[in-house]
Structures are given as C-alpha cells and as structure tokens.
Amino acid sequence: MALGDAILACLTERPMTGYELAKTFDSSIGFFWKADHQQIYRELSKLRDRGHIQGREVVQSGKPNKLVYTLTPEGRTALRHWAARPSTPASTKDDLLVRLHALDSIDIEPLRTDLMARLEHHRDRHANYERILKKRFPDGTAEGRLDLGNLLLLRLGARHEQMVADFCEEALEALSAMSGKATVVPLEDGKREKG
Amino acid sequence: MALGDAILACLTERPMTGYELAKTFDSSIGFFWKADHQQIYRELSKLRDRGHIQGREVVQSGKPNKLVYTLTPEGRTALRHWAARPSTPASTKDDLLVRLHALDSIDIEPLRTDLMARLEHHRDRHANYERILKKRFPDGTAEGRLDLGNLLLLRLGARHEQMVADFCEEALEALSAMSGKATVVPLEDGKREKG
DNA sequence: CCGTTATTTACCGTAACAGGAAAAAGTCGG
DNA sequence: CCGACTTTTTCCTGTTACGGTAAATAACGG
C-alpha cells in the first residue's frame, strides 16, 4: 500500500489516464519510484474499487478510448490521512552494496565495469536533475507549496546522484590502488575456489 | 532473487545459523537491507534446496539445536556469477518524497513532525556509522579486500545519512519560511477541501 | 503490409513484506 | 516457583510488488 498512494499523489496535480501515469512514472516521480504500466493499471482498478478515484471515459477517434482518472473527495482524504502517518525510512537494497560486502569473494573485473556503468548512470541522472532545476527554478526559489515540494525533491535527487557518482569514482580508485597487490586471480568459471 | 544473494554474501564471512543471520540483518548488512527472521528462514530453505548452502545440525544442551549453514562450492560459484551480472540501480521509494510531491494537498503539521523524527533518525544512524568507522578504521585505510569493501560501505552509509539529515533540516526551514504565507489552513478531517 | 504510437486489459508466476503463532529448553528476576 | 525473556526453528495466512508475455483496437508513416 504505497504505490496506490504515489498514484494518488500524482493525480493531485491533474487528472490523468493510466497511460499518462505510466509515462509520469517514467520521468518526474519515476526518478525515485519505478512502476511499469501493468502495475499502474492494476493499482488503478483497486483505487477505483475503493472509491478513491473516478474514471471518466473519453471517446477518441483514431485511438482507443481513454479513461481519465480523477481524485474523488474520498481519495483526497485518504491521501491526507496517509500523509499524516509517520513515514517509514526505506532501506536502500542496492545490489552494489551487497557485492562490496562480499568483496573478497567476487571477481573484481566485472565489478569495475559495473562501477563504471553506474558512475555514468548517476552522472547522467545528476545532469538531468540539474537541467530541470535550472529550467524550472532558475533563481533557486519556489513560489507556492507545490513548487516548494518539487524544488526540494529535485535538490535531494541531484545531491543523491552526485554523492553516489562520487562514491563510484572513489571505489574505482580504491580498487585500482588495491589491484596492485591482488590476492586472488580471477578464474574462468569457478573451477577453483580459494577455500 | 536478491535476498538470497545477500544471505550468500553474509555467509562468505563465516558459517552462521538463521538466528545469527537475522541478527546480522539487524546490524551490519541491515544498514541497507531489512529482512526479518521469517524471510531469512524461508530463504535459507530455498538456498538449501538449491544446494547453495549446507546445513549442519549442532546439538546444544540448554538451547534448541541449531543449524549452522555453510556455503557450498556451488553457492560460492552462484554468488560470483550473480556478482558478475550488471547491478540494477535501485529506486528510492521513500514515502517522504511522495509526500513532498503532493505538498500542496497534504497537511503540513504532521509532515513537520515526521521530518523532525526523520532528522533525528538519520542523525542517529550517521553517528552510528561514524562510530563504527572510527573503531574499525581509525586511520581511514583498509588492509585486505574484505576490509576495503566494508570501509567503502561505511563511508557511503555515513555520507548518505548525513545528506538526508541535511535535507530534512533544509526542508523544515523552507516549510517554516513558507508557513508565514500559508495558503491552506489545516482541517480536522477533510470536511472541506480547497477544490 | 508492416511497424509504431496510443490505450487498456488479461494472465502467468515469483519475490518480498507483514504479522501472528507455536514449539522447546534453558536462564534470570522477583 | 512463576512468569518473562532468550535462543532457535518452523508454519500459517495474507497483501504488495515485480516481471514477462500478449492481446485487443485503430490511426498514421513509410
């Protein structure tokens, strides 16, 4: 019960169809929340059953008819109640961290390439955040409450990506410094283990 | 299929029982990965069925017998193969961020208390990381590969917590600055909505 | 005609999360 | 001695999420 609330949160901005929501979850809110269209459509059905949203069919020519979903007053209330409950700090659950935890039992080469890919990935995202920040908040201040929320969000996102990117760089450097005194030679396919 | 690998990663350090693993997931690796004992026991059964770990019963007097699990060569290979696959960047999925995204549709007061709680939480965790860092790596350098992994991990954790704590502070300040020109008065129970 | 875009829906499975309960044997406080 | 707690494993029932495959429908571009 959290994806549903994320969808409600999106619908506060404007009514949307499942298709639009799927795209939203691919850009703005999707920066920190992934969900594919199936998840979204399934969740939308549930929300409708609960009476939190209301679908209005819009007949289209040339395209399949679309279902525009709007928040109902019950939905707004539900969202506010959800938002009034203490939030649960999410755990990271990043594969990379698990790998670092078992660093001496895995092969370094794939790890390096992975770190490099991740470095690029996080740099891209950082640049993206900065780009949006400059476009939407050129002077770094927000007017309304909605704007403030989004500004804070973008700033956090930017900083996070920056930090992770820096971390990847640092990890790569540390691995390079260490690889001089390598303890285990990478093997082909686990024919030998060092135990 | 990720919790299983996290467990394998833990078992590279030393053989452990499910009970010990549960406690480990409550401290070291649990800093970025949450799992309760039931999840762990279930996963252990699966891993045993797959032949990735091997259980050895240790008869105890005074306490129930325990099952010490050891990595099998197959398990080590599986871990290495898993670690050689590109990692998937995890998405944040933090309730707080969703709330910020819908900032103008929710009540600020509970959000403030939540932010304050989170601030404390992240500060605590940061202090904890720093404490462990000072204890395990007083001079900030690592010897072996295992140590390097853990050092990097701790540093990332510390920085992350620091950053989120700063963010909470900033958000609180911004909310205070904004609350002067409040647009919506907080309501009791959604009897009125501003739409 | 084929592929793409727009739009929704259906089914399959597994993985993860949440919580409640029960065993069994000891230890410790009152 | 009773009750509470620790240690250790297991079973239960749910919901939520994740992942893939695929099918309808209908225009538009090549």
Report the 3 state secondary structure along chain A: CCHHHHHHHHHCCCCEEHHHHHHHCCCCHHHCCCCCHHHHHHHHHHHHHHCCEEEEEECCCCCCCEEEEEECHHHHHHHHHHHHCCCCCCCCCCHHHHHHHCHHHCCHHHHHHHHHHHHHHHHHHHHHHHHHHHHHCCCCCCCCHHHHHHHHHHHHHHHHHHHHHHHHHHHHHHHHHHHCCCCCCCCCCCCCCCC
What range defines the domain where residue A36 resides?
3-84
- Per-residue model confidence as pLDDT tens digits over A70-121: 999 999 999 999 899 888 888 888 889 999 999 999 999 999 999 999 999 8
Residues A170 and A149 in one domain: yes
Does A188 score more than 60 pLDDT?
Answer: no
Mean pLDDT of chain A: 85
Q: How confident is the model at residue A62 (pLDDT cuts 50, 70, 90)?
A: low
Among all strands, which nt has the closest C1' to B88 (CA)?
D18
In this structure, are B118 and B69 located in the same domain? no
| B105 and B173 belong to one structural domain | yes
Do B129 and B155 lie in one domain? The reply is: yes
pLDDT at A179: 73
CA of A181 vs C1' of C7, distance in Å? 58
**Mean pLDDT, all residues of chain B:** 85
Q: For residues A95 and B74, give the distance between their C-alpha atoms in angstroms, rounded to a whole number.
A: 20
Q: Would you give the DSSP letter of residue B140?
A: S
Q: Determine the distance between B63 (CA) and C29 (C1') in angstroms.
A: 20
Residue of B nearest to A31 (CA): B91
List the single range of A65-69, A70-74, B62-66, B166-170 with lowest mean pLDDT.
B62-66
Both A35 and A79 in one domain: the answer is yes
Asked if B49 and B122 sit in the same domain, the reply is no
Helix (H) / strand (E) containing B123: helix B108-136
pLDDT confidence of A152, banded at 50, 70, 90?
very high
**Looking at B82-96, B116-130, B157-171, which range is the least confident one?**
B82-96
- Note whether A109 and A172 are same-domain residues: yes
Residues B71, B103, single domain; the answer is: no
Measured from the CB, is B137 under 7 Å from any atom of strand D? no
Q: Are residues A50 and A110 in the same domain?
A: no
Q: Tell which strand D nucleotides have any atom below 7 Å from a protein Cβ.
A: 6-12, 15-22, 24-28
Q: How many domains does chain A have?
A: 2
DSSP reduced 3-state for B58: strand
For residue A189, tell me if it sits in a domain.
no
* CATH number (domain holding residue A67): 1.10.10.10
pLDDT surpassing 90 at residue B72: yes
pLDDT digits (tens, 9 = 90+) for B2-60: 888 999 999 998 999 999 998 888 777 888 888 888 889 989 988 988 889 998 888 77
Rounded distance between C-alpha atoms, residue A11 and residue A17, angstroms: 9
The answer on A175 and A99 residing in a single domain is yes
Q: Are residues A141 and A80 in the same domain?
A: no
In a domain, A191, yes or no: no
pLDDT surpasses 60 at B193: no
